[in-house]
């Protein structure tokens, strides 16, 4: 199973080929520093969701975006979830409610103090994502607690089965952005809308998406120089937090270059590439590295996955930003949030990944507290196994709540899955 270049590569220092991860960590730190700075200088704070947000539009008004999903996952990654979840549960939230929501509410109930620093309160709540019902109530809760105004865009569900977004749907969202959102943002920020600036920001976004797409598609190489799930989750932070800037474009150029260097040197995220998997679902953040380790020990690399594309399914060309038509192209982008896609289309996407990325099987990680991402996971598994004879594994824990992570059970299922794949693929274990 080991090619000579890989064997040689495994002796090289991987750190040398793992600079992009450090680079993104620096950019994330800078994003927070800039955010605190801007707030100190009087900038307004908008809370926004990762999926399908037209952040480029908010940037025109120098409104600072804060993504409570991202702060929740970062706090959880650093081990700070239990106290925030407890605060929300003491406040009255059910144990079954979404962990992101509970952490977001819990953080503010505790005055914003968390292990990753102070989380600022919102001046405006931007709601432009209809893929999750619970999220709508999250903003309602904050509106109730802090009297924060909510700016809502009603985004139609992606209901066509042929990969087609209706023009009238795009027009419907465009009109809302023009007639409702822009005037509201002008009012809140006290600044006039500047279309030229929007075009420039959309241009940088498009360029960042372009290189991110290239990086993601390098999972097609055999062996894959990227773990398109576990590593991509680090890399996705840049497109999520700072797209629309030249810094984001530079980062993704660097990443593509690093991945090329890896491929040429025969190194990758695991010692060898024994298994190529397609990964579906949200990761477990409180035990992220241990969870990853359960796959690494089998020399398994994720060659494609859905979750790192929650900010946009750019790799399959779901949307195209166009600086000449900035608002319309943002409207199209908003409709293409992954959880806004219908189940059939999500299934076809995974199927396409298995074929195009030459995967050996599909791993589906369902999370207890997110039904909009985890719905249909049992059916997906059965479809792959029964209809397509593609090995598929369904495991579950939670994205942020450590109480739902049972490593012995996960390991047992993962090990059995790779034992099954070893037989199929003739890999000696």
| Contact positions vs other proteins (CB under 8 A) | 368, 378, 382, 385-386, 391, 394, 396, 404, 406, 408-409, 412-413, 415-416, 419-420, 423, 428
Angle subtended at Cα 118 by Cα 132 and Cα 74, rounded to the nearest 5 degrees: 50
Q: How far is the CB of 368 from other proteins (least distance, A)?
A: 8
Report helix, strand and coil shares of the chain as percent, to nearest 5: 55, 10, 30
Q: How far is the CB of 375 from other proteins (least distance, A)?
A: 16
Angle subtended at Cα 250 by Cα 233 and Cα 228, rounded to the nearest 5 degrees: 25
Q: What CA–CA distance (Å, rounded) separates 303 from 353?
A: 8
Q: What CA–CA distance (Å, rounded) separates 281 from 298?
A: 20
Nearer Cβ to other proteins (30/419) = 419
Task: Give me the DSSP letters along 376-393.
Answer: THHHHHHIIIIIH---EE
Cα 313 to the center of its chain, rounded Å = 10
Nearer Cβ to other proteins (245/284) = 284
- For residue 390, CA distances in Å to 150, 324, 355, 419 come to 45, 43, 10, 15
Nearer Cβ to other proteins (6/366) = 366
Judged on CB neighbours under 10 Å (0-12, 13-18, 19+), 230 is buried
Q: How far is the CB of 426 from other proteins (least distance, A)?
A: 12
Q: How far is the CB of 385 from other proteins (least distance, A)?
A: 5
Nearer Cβ to other proteins (115/385) = 385
Q: How far is the CB of 351 from other proteins (least distance, A)?
A: 18
Nearer Cβ to other proteins (1/222) = 1
- For residue 207, CA distances in Å to 165, 199, 315, 387 come to 23, 12, 13, 39
Pairing assessment for the beta strands 124-127 and 117-118 based on DSSP bridges: unpaired
Q: What CA–CA distance (Å, rounded) separates 76 from 116?
A: 10
Task: Give me the DSSP letters along 215-244.
Answer: HHHGGGSSS-SS-TTHHHHHHHHHHHHHTT
Nearer Cβ to other proteins (90/420) = 420
Nearer Cβ to other proteins (197/413) = 413
Q: How far is the CB of 96 from other proteins (least distance, A)?
A: 13
Angle subtended at Cα 402 by Cα 399 and Cα 406, rounded to the nearest 5 degrees: 95
Q: How far is the CB of 419 from other proteins (least distance, A)?
A: 5
Nearer Cβ to other proteins (47/417) = 417
Rounded (10°) angle between helices 195-217 and 326-335: 40
Q: What CA–CA distance (Å, rounded) separates 129 from 53?
A: 7
Nearer Cβ to other proteins (328/407) = 407
Q: How far is the CB of 393 from other proteins (least distance, A)?
A: 9
- For residue 318, CA distances in Å to 51, 285, 288, 321, 363 come to 13, 27, 29, 10, 23
Nearer Cβ to other proteins (123/396) = 396
CB 142 within 8 A of CB 149: no
Q: What CA–CA distance (Å, rounded) separates 27 from 12?
A: 26
Q: What CA–CA distance (Å, rounded) separates 21 from 26?
A: 9
Nearer Cβ to other proteins (106/286) = 286
Q: How far is the CB of 411 from other proteins (least distance, A)?
A: 9
Q: How far is the CB of 412 from other proteins (least distance, A)?
A: 6
- Residue 307 is encoded by which pair of tokens? 């979750």
């Amino acid at each position: 199973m080991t090619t000579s270049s890989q064997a040689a590569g495994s002796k090289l220092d991987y750190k040398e080929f793992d600079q992009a991860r450090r680079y993104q960590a620096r950019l994330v730190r800078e994003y927070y520093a800039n955010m605190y700075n801007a707030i100190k200088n009087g900038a307004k704070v908008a809370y926004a969701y990762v999926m399908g947000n037209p952040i480029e539009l908010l940037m025109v008004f120098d409104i600072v975006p804060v993504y409570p999903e991202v702060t929740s996952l970062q706090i959880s990654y650093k081990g700070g979830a239990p106290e925030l979840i407890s605060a929300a549960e003491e406040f009255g939230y059910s144990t079954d409610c979404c962990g992101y929501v509970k952490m977001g509410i819990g953080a503010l109930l505790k005055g914003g103090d968390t292990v990753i620093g102070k989380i600022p309160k919102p001046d405006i709540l931007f709601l432009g994502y209809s893929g999750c019902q619970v999220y709508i109530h999250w903003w309602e809760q904050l509106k109730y607690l802090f009297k924060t105004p909510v700016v809502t865009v009603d985004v139609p569900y992606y209901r066509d089965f042929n990969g087609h977004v209706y023009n009238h749907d795009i027009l419907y969202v465009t009109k809302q952005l023009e007639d409702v959102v822009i005037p509201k943002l002008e009012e809140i920020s006290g600044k006039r809308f500047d279309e030229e600036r929007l075009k420039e920001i959309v241009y940088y976004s498009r360029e960042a998406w372009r290189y991110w797409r290239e990086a993601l598609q390098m999972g097609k190489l055999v062996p894959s120089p990227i773990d398109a799930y576990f590593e991509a989750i680090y890399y996705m932070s840049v497109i999520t937090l700072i797209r629309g800037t030249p810094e984001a474009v530079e980062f993704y150029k660097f990443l593509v270059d690093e991945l090329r260097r890896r491929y040429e040197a025969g190194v990758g995220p695991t010692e060898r590439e024994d298994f190529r998997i397609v990964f579906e679902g949200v990761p477990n953040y409180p035990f992220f590295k241990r969870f990853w380790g359960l796959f690494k020990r089998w020399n398994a690399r994720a060659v494609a996955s859905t979750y790192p594309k929650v900010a946009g399914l750019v790799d399959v060309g779901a949307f195209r930003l166009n600086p000449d038509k900035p608002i319309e192209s943002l409207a199209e982008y908003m409709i293409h949030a992954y959880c806004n896609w219908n189940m059939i289309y999500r299934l076809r996407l995974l199927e396409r990944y298995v074929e195009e990325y030459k995967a050996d099987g599909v791993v589906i990680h369902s999370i207890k507290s997110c039904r909009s991402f985890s719905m249909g996971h049992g059916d997906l598994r059965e479809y792959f196994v029964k209809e397509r004879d593609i090995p598929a594994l369904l495991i579950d824990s939670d994205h942020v709540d450590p109480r739902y992570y049972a490593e012995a059970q996960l390991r047992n299922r993962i090990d059995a899955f790779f034992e099954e794949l070893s037989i199929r693929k003739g890999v000696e274990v």
